[in-house]
Chain A
Amino acid sequence: MPSADNLNQHRQKTSAVEKIATIAILASAATALQIIESPLPRFLPWLKPGLANALTLYALLRFSTLAGVGVALIRTFIAGTVLGTLFSPVYLISLAGALTSALTMSIIKKLLPESGLSTISVSGALASNWAQLMAVQLMFAGGISVWFHLAVMIWVGIPSGLIVARLTAELLRRT
């Protein structure tokens, strides 16, 4: 007859396995989104819709910061492998974006617990685009019009952040 201890152990073991499996599923869904997004034309190299961040946000809220960061890192790596861009400048740019987005969203969630998904994901989108722009600047040392980039970043960040918020809300509601 299973004792309370055994049950607990059993629950912990399966939840560890389940956790990994769930993260794997989330990461692959995120990878798919990133890959689907990649051929879309961009008029600036660091400006990306970042739909995959919805899954990062989901993992963040549902599980933990670690899970969110994990999903972000894994999907960047796998997408990089599939697209053949591993360790290229493009990869570094998307890594910067994904990581910054995950961390920022986690920080916002902790700092401002009363904020809704919109604030969290728009912040994530802005942080991601900003980090990607920084990555481009570091690698290519360009001369840029700051105000222009800031304005564009916000205009793209708000709608993409809201879409990500919507996606995440749906996911949270259904699971």
Chain B
Amino acid sequence: MVQDSEKVKKIFAGRLDVVFLLALGFISVVAWLLHQGEANTAPKTVSVRVFTEPEQFFRVSMPASRTLVVSGKLGPAEIQFSSAGEYRIASSTCPNHICVNYGWVKNGSLVCVPNGIVVVAEEKESRVDAVSR
């Protein structure tokens, strides 16, 4: 076989190698901390869309303790937010109140079909793509 003129290399040939790895380790820790910082500064927000003409849109920063009154396609509806980070449709002028009976929700979505109201939590990376119901 043709011999290369270089000598056989060692895994750790000198100081540079150690310095290199240490530098990388340091960078990775910094990167991780920056990532953590990124994740914590964004509070969860809940958005409310009302499909009337024209469409209405509201955004609530969580946690919040308040009641939002919106005018849906059929009439007013109350959306309640709790300081525990949960939300529910407290009342709605729809015939069956399926949305009201759904109760409090922490991360999911609430819908009132007749009134055209959708309440969704906006999160950076949602854990599920959809809920089958």
Contacts and interface: CB of A to CB of B under 8 A. Distances in A.
A19 B2 contact: yes
Interface in B1-30: 1-2, 4, 6, 8-14, 16-17, 20-21, 24-25, 27-29
Given A63-B4, A165-B11, A151 B32 contact: yes
Given A118-B21, A147-B35, A154-B25, A61 B16 contact: no
Nearest to B37: A147
B31 A151 contact: yes
Contacts of B27: 150, 154
A158 B21 CA distance: 8
B12 A147 contact: no
Interface in A128-175: 145, 147-148, 150-151, 154-155, 157-158, 162, 165-166, 168-169, 172-173, 175
Contacts of B4: 61-63
B-side interface mostly:
helix
B11 A169 contact: yes
A150 B17 contact: no
B84 interface: no
Contacts of B34: 147
Given A19-B2, A116-B17, A118-B17, A145 B11 contact: no
B16 A122 contact: no
A15 to B, nearest CB: 5
Contact of A173 (B8, B24, B29, B32): B8
Given A112-B16, A154-B25, A147 B9 contact: no
A18 to B, nearest CB: 7
B35 A148 contact: yes
A165 B28 CA distance: 21
B27 to A, nearest CB: 6
Interface residues of A, number: 34
Contacts of B129: none
Contacts of B14: 114-116
Contact of B20 (A122, A150, A168, A175): A122
Interface string B88-128: 00000000000000000000000000000000000000000
A28 interface: no
Interface string A112-126: 101111111010001
A148 B38 CA distance: 10
A115 B24 contact: no
6 contacts: A61-B4, A116-B12, A120-B9, A154-B27, A154-B31, A172-B8
Interface of A: 15, 18-19, 22, 61-63, 112, 114-120, 122, 126, 145, 147-148, 150-151, 154-155, 157-158, 162, 165-166, 168-169, 172-173, 175
Given A117-B9, A145-B35, 19 more contacts: A18-B1, A22-B1, A61-B4, A63-B2, A112-B16, A116-B14, A116-B17, A117-B12, A118-B12, A119-B16, A147-B34, A148-B31, A154-B25, A165-B11, A169-B9, A169-B10, A169-B11, A173-B8, A175-B1
